[in-house]
Structure 1
Amino acid sequence: MTGTQSRIALREGLASGRLLRFPGAFTPITAKLIEERGFEGVYISGAVLAAERGLPDIGLTTLTEVSERGRDISSVTNLPTFIDADTGFGEPMNVARTIQSLEAAGVAACHLEDQVNPKRCGHLDGKSVVSTDEMVRRIRAAVGARTDPNFVICARTDARAIEGLDAAIDRAKAYVEAGADLVFPEALTDLHEFETFRKAVDVPILANMTEFGKSELFTTKQLASAGVSLVIYPVTLLRIALGAIERALDSIATVGTQAHLVPDMQTRARLYDVLGYAEYSRLDESVFNFTIPTGQEKP
């Protein structure tokens, strides 16, 4: 789909009453697997983007890095992509440029947060938030800058852990009044808080099911019953992959070969299938051709 088509699809999904599931893709090929498994969208985490570069999630990545990753992932999937835009990379004018850059990258949605810089992971202690007025300016700048009215602007508030639930709801209402299409209340503690938040605001809400955080890892059924419209699993796949990598490296260091790890690996044939080698081959066989291996041979 084009960027506009994916944005329309996301808006239709948010209006459908179904819970939309957006696992986090830490590479473009991961997005292909997410689409293949039948999920409704792809999330692109700022924390993951930083971790890939060996950096902590404290606002060190740039708009260029984020928009390029958004383009890389959006270009290989028909699913809507939803990207973490941190605090918008600067003042309201920077926020406006951020929105236009993400639109140009083919992204369907982004969220902006009300933390101060340098920001922190939303499930860590020691966060600080800007004033409601300052965040409202960010949202207004974002809404005014988008060229595609279907681009979804999500307001994230980290105020629950700092100012309490009621204050976070008051902030969210102000952000919605400023034009936010979706609200992301970060680090809520239980289902009742999600239910309370949803009843208080006039737009859909998002749940962040990140591991090792403040929120319990609720099921999709529980979240849907609480009125949540979209759930993200931002770092799940990266953590799974890094855990497997660490175990594999330890095993190779101990055993001296990776042969015993082969049964747990994706085969070469399966990788080629995910990448679409056959489609590339058929594209222009007169110029270049190659043989597609079959079966479950070793990589």
Structure 2
Amino acid sequence: MTYGHTLRGEIAAPGTTPLIGVYDMYSASVAAQHFDGFFVSGFGFAASYYGLPDIGFIAWPDMVAFVERLRGAFPRHHLLVDIDDGYVDPEVACHVVQRLERIGASGVILEDQKRPRRCGHADGKQVLPLDEYLAKLDLVLSSRTDLLVVARTDATEESDILRRAQALAETDADVVLVDGVRSTDWIRRIRTVVGDKPILFNQIAGGKSPRLSLTELTELGVDVAIYSTPCLFAAHTAMDTALAELKFADGRLPAATDGTGAVGVRESTELLERNISRHHEAVRQAVAV
């Protein structure tokens, strides 16, 4: 299976393709019940793996190892991977891209931020000179075989946003992302300068961009939508609530089968067993071919 080709076909189809941000294997197991595409979120991974904010702490071997585990359990899902700035060095970026393609990633997002980097919806972002980023992007593009590449700009000045978006659209990148877009009017302006190149929109709760439905995004000409943090933030809320209730109940666990949809050991085990069955089915199909 050529994962990049498959994701390109999905993006080219009518409508906006949703990719759900996952931060560990359990969140991916839950998300797989509802969606067939994942976004391997840098925000979520930094929070889950390191317990740190998304400001450049991720080491590329950790990210590659996570994607390898995801691909083993989810052989049919799209996997778009956030590789930040390519881990600073262009040669490292190329090495990571080649590693990710070999283990079955569908695509990567490469941003134009310079260190210290920030979440795309945070204040204080700084970007590389455009020529420097384009040179790094060109090396990454030449190092991939089939992997889909999203070129991302974190520019914040209005004239620079459009200048960079147009320049990214003129490269061989498959998709263009302007992160932290603040209004639907700006989506339209970006759509105009990018031309026929697919565009990606990043939604994050509490972020700078408007909350838009897939129908609204399709009408605006958006081809892909990534949802960076719904799993992470929902888990945060649910865990905080559950532990507060446990404390209030003097340590007595709630019943797992009380009709409220509560999860117990049986439901959790059944969820995780599906990861084994998906893997075995993919191996059987590969052997048959």
Alignment of 1:108-257 (within 5 A): 108-146=106-144, 148=145, 150-159=146-155, 161=156, 163-164=157-158, 166-201=159-194, 202-257=196-251
Which one-letter code corresponds to 1:243 in the other structure? T
Structure 2 CA distance for partners of 1:64 and 1:278, relative to 1, 3 Å: closer
Instruction: Determine the C-alpha separation between the residues in 2 that align with 1:246 and 1:183.
Output: 37
Instruction: Determine the C-alpha separation between the residues in 2 that align with 1:15 and 1:277.
Output: 29
CA contact (8 A) 2:73 2:275 kept: no
SS at 2:222's partner residue?
A: coil
Which one-letter code corresponds to 2:189 in the other structure? T
Instruction: Determine the C-alpha separation between the residues in 1 that align with 2:201 and 2:81.
Output: 15
Which one-letter code corresponds to 2:38 in the other structure? V
Which residue number corresponds to residue 265 of structure 2? 268
Shift of 1:105: 2.6
Shift of 1:277: 6.6
Which residue number corresponds to residue 38 of structure 2? 42
Shift of 1:276: 2.5
Instruction: Determine the C-alpha separation between the residues in 1 that align with 2:274 and 2:82.
Output: 31
SS at 1:168's partner residue?
A: helix
Identity %: 28
Shift of 1:155: 0.8
Select which of 52, 57, 66 maps to 2:54: 57
CA contact (8 A) 2:20 2:228 kept: yes
Which residue number corresponds to residue 99 of structure 2? 101
Which residue number corresponds to residue 26 of structure 2? 29
Which one-letter code corresponds to 2:96 in the other structure? T
Shift of 1:279: 6.9
SS at 2:32's partner residue?
A: helix
CA contact (8 A) 1:139 1:179 kept: no
Instruction: Determine the C-alpha separation between the residues in 1 that align with 2:178 and 2:166.
Output: 11
**Structure 1 unaligned spans of 5+:** 284-299
CA contact (8 A) 1:31 1:76 kept: no
Structure number with greater CO (CA < 8 Å, separation at least 6) is 2
CA contact (8 A) 1:183 1:206 kept: yes
Select which of 1, 5, 10 maps to 1:8: 5
Which one-letter code corresponds to 1:93 in the other structure? E
Instruction: Determine the C-alpha separation between the residues in 2 that align with 1:115 and 1:192.
Output: 24
**Structure 2 unaligned spans of 5+:** 281-289
Shift of 1:35: 2.9
Instruction: Determine the C-alpha separation between the residues in 1 that align with 2:119 and 2:178.
Output: 14
SS at 2:73's partner residue?
A: coil
SS at 1:36's partner residue?
A: coil
Q: Which string of whole-angstrom CA distances, capped at 9 and with x for unpartnered residues, describes residues 159-214 of structure 1?
A: 1x2x21x3212212222333211011111111121122112113111111101111
Instruction: Determine the C-alpha separation between the residues in 1 that align with 2:83 and 2:134.
Output: 16
Moved more, 68-77 or 251-260: 251-260
Q: CA RMSD in A?
A: 1.9
Which residue number corresponds to residue 284 of structure 2? none
CA contact (8 A) 1:192 1:226 kept: no
- Aligned pairs, how many? 272
Instruction: Report the TM-score, using the length of structure 2 for normalisation.
Output: 0.88
Which protein has the larger Cα radius of gyration, Structure 1 or Structure 2?
1
SS at 2:237's partner residue?
A: helix
Which one-letter code corresponds to 1:203 in the other structure? K
SS at 1:75's partner residue?
A: helix
